[in-house]
Amino acid sequence: MKYGIANLNEARPSRRAVVRTAAWSVPVISVAATAPAFAASPCDARTDQALSWNGGNVTFTRTSDTVASATLVPATNVPALTLDVKASYTGLMKAGYENPGTNTVNPSLRRSANVGNLNKSGISLWQATTRDTPSPTQDTGTYVFTFSRPVTNLRFTITDIDSATGDFRDALTLTSGYTASYPATITKTTAAGVGEYFIATGENTPTDNSTGNAGNLTITYPGTISSFTIQYSNSASSFNNTLDQDQTIYVSDLTFNYKPC
């Protein structure tokens, strides 16, 4: 059927109806455009997460010279990650050091605000041997760091690897799987029954741990890891028994990737 002019006008919607329909549709379009695509999950992977020993989001607990822990809460509602540190000793190596003549006490597993001139905090691995002559394979400290969840691309620096004539010469081994960078004041070598280890270059290369970086050994574990161990000894060629034979290195803040849950 053909329409006349009158019929065409009746079939076409009025301008007011078109405007009214458009006005109602605008809020619907606006709401849809501003709605988030998804909500972030507490279990989302965290990249380059830092665990600072002195961090505001870290609770540090030291039970003794041999037991400590750091609990990291990365953000609100994100499950915590805990790093436990436990020390044990063989032979005549002991935790920390106390000078009976001066009552000077140097406890182990204590935090320091700045280590290796990194502007980062660290935790001390302080120990001393009471043996008259050096015995680095018998007198050792073993420090085990264990995460509550696996991490990847773990990075940290061990600082203050140095030496002093007749007193100490720092030497240490680590759990395998790492890459390392270090200055000429540190030497990497191997020995039968010990394997690969790092030692202060020379018998008298002291380093100031707060203002110097000559004793810094930077370690990266690129793969997945839940725990690593540092075994630490005094490898001086001889002892001057008027000295104390105590020694210390520090483990800096740690950076890593992980999934909270």
Asked if residue 196 lies in contact with residue 173, where contact means CB atoms within 8 angstroms, the answer is: yes
pLDDT tens-place string over residues 198-211: 999 999 999 999 99
pLDDT tens-place string over residues 37-82: 445 688 899 999 999 999 999 999 999 999 999 999 999 999 999 9
Asked if residue 154 lies in contact with residue 255, where contact means CB atoms within 8 angstroms, the answer is: yes
The SS3 of residue 168 is strand
**If pLDDT is split at 50, 70 and 90, which confidence band does 103 have?**
low
CA distance linking residue 254 with residue 61, whole number of Å: 17
Q: What is residue 201's DSSP assignment?
A: S
Query: Within its chain, how far is the Cα of 261 from the centroid?
Result: 19
Query: What is the CB-side half-sphere exposure of residue 9 using CA atoms within 13 A?
Result: 3
Q: How does DSSP assign 62-101, residue by residue?
A: E-SSSEEEEEE--STTSPPEEEEEEEEEETTEEESEEETT
**If pLDDT is split at 50, 70 and 90, which confidence band does 261 have?**
very high
The model scores a pTM over 0.75: yes
